[in-house]
């Protein structure tokens, strides 16, 4: 069974679930959810077993799809995050239903499957057309998901904002694609790279096109100054959707960005240095604009949104630093590594938020007060998540940051490094502000908060992933190393 079939199967399963809900409205959401989860897990298993080379794809799709290391990694990534989001949705279902029409949640289980298929396609896209289609598949599904809790004013507002700004970015993106095409005469990444290596190509047109394209993609990954939607949308969207946006959508954006930049900044590219400078500026700005306003947040969910912006900044900086001979990972590899570490810590953080929400608590800092007393385990896990987000050594978050900083230093980008360090330092403040709140004991008696075994297991697994990635990253690095070899070979 080829990978493509699996992806198609996922999309079909998504549609099927949608139809089932429509024609058999009394089906329980648990059944729906578990079916979706089971389907995705099955897809993951099949994906692992499936052959991992481009030749195994159906012939008709081969010109547009590829299966290199990066693609395999991001496809797996998409499947994992989808499973986690579906599960998180089930966890949050009791309170989510209060905000949906008729207390239904069907789309919350089916749309993620479609999003997942979209992300998987995006990961293996070989040309801008495929990128655009897959990206829009994901984005449009997200419009629905963000506004899904439509009885909640917040969710609706987030939906509207995401819709308008997202559509705007789509326009910018297409316009950029048009100009890239105009400058290079091709849509495929390989072709673009070749054309850009040719000095006869118009530099100005190429610069214009790539700049506009990067603006469009910058919106998807929350790069400054296209990041303003992030706090509002993340805060307003239902928590599972926020987690999905924060990890999945961002990863999807970055895989496209990696592919595009591989083309724009390939060896001998006439626009390579300008693009690198642009990335450094945007990356540093993003890291700062994510961190600085976060210091005053009282809503933890919004704080995580800012944190997500800040992380996007580090990732952009990683992309700015192309391959170094002394480094096993390509810049795309570093980004992938970073995202792999980012997944467990972010999902764990949102899981905590979801659990608290499900237990009738808010998402504010004051709701975190005394969490350690309510449930020491949850507090410990959340601490781990926040410590990792802050980049504390021995957690997964540190290594990602370390690679980024190493790359910046190796390329001599001291200005950007300074900004990144300041942003990271600020990060320590707001993450640990939250941690501190959890362990604060003064105040009223707080009722205990219990976790189901399944929750414990999932949260524990995520925490374990944080620790293992932090102290034993060798296997993950091994997976990503292959990618560098491929890039170098190209």
Task: Copy the structure tokens of residue 213.
Answer: 């394209």
Buried-state track 429-446, b at ≥16 Cβ within 10 A, e below 16: ebbebbbebbeeeeeeee
Would you say 47 or 405 has its CB closer to other proteins?
405
Beta carbon of residue 186, minimum distance to other proteins (angstroms, whole number): 7
Distances (CA, A) of 206 to 198, 279, 290, 320: 12, 16, 30, 18
Beta carbon of residue 30, minimum distance to other proteins (angstroms, whole number): 26
Phi and psi at residue 364, in whole multiples of 5°?
A: -90, 165
Verify binding: residue 204, other proteins, rule CB under 8 A.
Answer: yes
Would you say 358 or 422 has its CB closer to other proteins?
422
Beta carbon of residue 413, minimum distance to other proteins (angstroms, whole number): 12
Verify binding: residue 198, other proteins, rule CB under 8 A.
Answer: no
Would you say 87 or 208 has its CB closer to other proteins?
208
Would you say 158 or 449 has its CB closer to other proteins?
158
Q: Site mask, other proteins, residues 387-426, x = CB under 8 A?
A: x----xxx---x---x--xx--xx------x---xx-xxx
The single residue among 16, 42, 160, 479 that binds other proteins, judged by CB under 8 A, is 160
Q: Site mask, other proteins, residues 327-366, x = CB under 8 A?
A: xx--------------------------------------
Task: Copy the structure tokens of residue 165.
Answer: 């700004």
Verify binding: residue 108, other proteins, rule CB under 8 A.
Answer: no
The single residue among 42, 56, 274, 479 that binds other proteins, judged by CB under 8 A, is 274
Calpha distance 292→242 (Å, rounded): 21
Calpha distance 315→331 (Å, rounded): 9
Beta carbon of residue 426, minimum distance to other proteins (angstroms, whole number): 7
Verify binding: residue 175, other proteins, rule CB under 8 A.
Answer: yes
Verify binding: residue 157, other proteins, rule CB under 8 A.
Answer: yes
Calpha distance 3→38 (Å, rounded): 18
Beta carbon of residue 332, minimum distance to other proteins (angstroms, whole number): 16
First CA to last CA across the chain, in angstroms?
A: 28
Q: Site mask, other proteins, residues 430-469, x = CB under 8 A?
A: --x--xx--xxxx---------------------------
Contacts of 70 (CB under 8 A, 6+ apart): 123, 255, 258, 259, 332, 333, 336, 483
Which parts of 293-332 interact with other proteins (CB under 8 A)? Answer: 293-297, 302, 325-328
Q: Alpha-carbon dihedral of residues 139, 142, 143, 149, nearest 10 degrees?
A: 180
Verify binding: residue 163, other proteins, rule CB under 8 A.
Answer: yes
Beta carbon of residue 12, minimum distance to other proteins (angstroms, whole number): 18
Would you say 37 or 294 has its CB closer to other proteins?
294
> How many residues line the site for other proteins (CB under 8 A)?
113
Verify binding: residue 122, other proteins, rule CB under 8 A.
Answer: no
Verify binding: residue 289, other proteins, rule CB under 8 A.
Answer: yes
């Amino acid at each position: 069974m080829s990978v493509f079939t699996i992806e198609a199967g996922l999309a079909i399963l998504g549609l099927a679930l949608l139809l089932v809900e429509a024609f058999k409205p009394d089906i329980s959401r648990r059944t729906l959810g578990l079916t979706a989860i089971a389907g995705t897990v099955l897809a993951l298993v099949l994906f692992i077993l499936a052959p991992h080379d481009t030749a195994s794809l159906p012939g008709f799709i081969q010109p547009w799809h590829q299966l290199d290391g990066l693609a395999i990694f991001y496809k797996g990534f998409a499947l994992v995050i989808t499973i986690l989001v579906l599960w998180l949705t089930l966890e949050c279902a009791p309170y989510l239903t209060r905000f949906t029409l008729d207390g239904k949640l069907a789309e919350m289980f089916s749309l993620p499957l479609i999003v997942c298929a979209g992300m998987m396609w995006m990961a293996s896209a070989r040309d801008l057309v495929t990128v655009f289609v897959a990206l829009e598949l994901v984005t449009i599904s997200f419009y629905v998901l963000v506004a899904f809790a439509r009885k909640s004013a917040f969710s609706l507002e987030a939906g509207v904002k995401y819709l308008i700004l997202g559509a705007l970015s789509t326009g910018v993106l297409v316009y950029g694609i048009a100009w890239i095409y105009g400058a290079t005469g091709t849509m495929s990444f390989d072709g673009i790279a070749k054309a850009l290596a040719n000095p006869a190509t118009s530099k100005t047109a190429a610069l214009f096109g790539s700049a506009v394209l990067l603006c469009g993609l910058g919106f998807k990954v929350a790069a400054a100054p296209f990041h303003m939607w992030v706090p509002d949308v993340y805060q307003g969207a239902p928590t599972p959707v926020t987690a999905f946006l924060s990890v999945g959508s961002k990863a999807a954006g970055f895989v496209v960005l990696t592919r595009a930049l591989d083309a724009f900044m390939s060896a001998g590219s006439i626009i390579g240095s300008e693009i690198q400078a642009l990335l450094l500026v945007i990356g540093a700005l993003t890291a700062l604009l994510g961190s600085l306003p976060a210091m005053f947040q009282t809503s933890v969910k919004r704080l995580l949104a800012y944190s997500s912006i800040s992380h996007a900044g580090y990732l952009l900086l990683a992309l700015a630093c192309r391959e170094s001979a002394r480094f096993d990972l390509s810049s795309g590899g570093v980004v992938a590594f970073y995202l792999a570490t980012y997944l467990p810590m972010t999902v764990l953080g949102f899981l905590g938020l979801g659990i608290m929400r499900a237990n009738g608590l808010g998402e504010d800092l004051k709701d975190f007060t005394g969490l350690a007393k309510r449930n020491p385990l949850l507090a410990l896990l959340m601490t781990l998540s926040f410590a990792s987000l802050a980049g504390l050594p021995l957690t997964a978050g540190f290594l990602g940051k370390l690679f980024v900083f190493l790359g910046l230093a190796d390329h001599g980008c001291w200005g950007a490094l300074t900004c990144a360090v300041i942003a990271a330092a600020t990060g320590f403040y707001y993450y640990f502000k939250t941690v501190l709140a959890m362990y604060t004991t003064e105040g009223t008696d707080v009722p205990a908060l219990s976790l189901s075994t399944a929750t414990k297991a999932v949260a524990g697994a995520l925490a374990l992933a944080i620790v293992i990635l932090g102290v034993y990253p060798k296997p993950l690095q091994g997976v990503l190393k292959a990618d560098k070899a491929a890039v170098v070979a190209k």
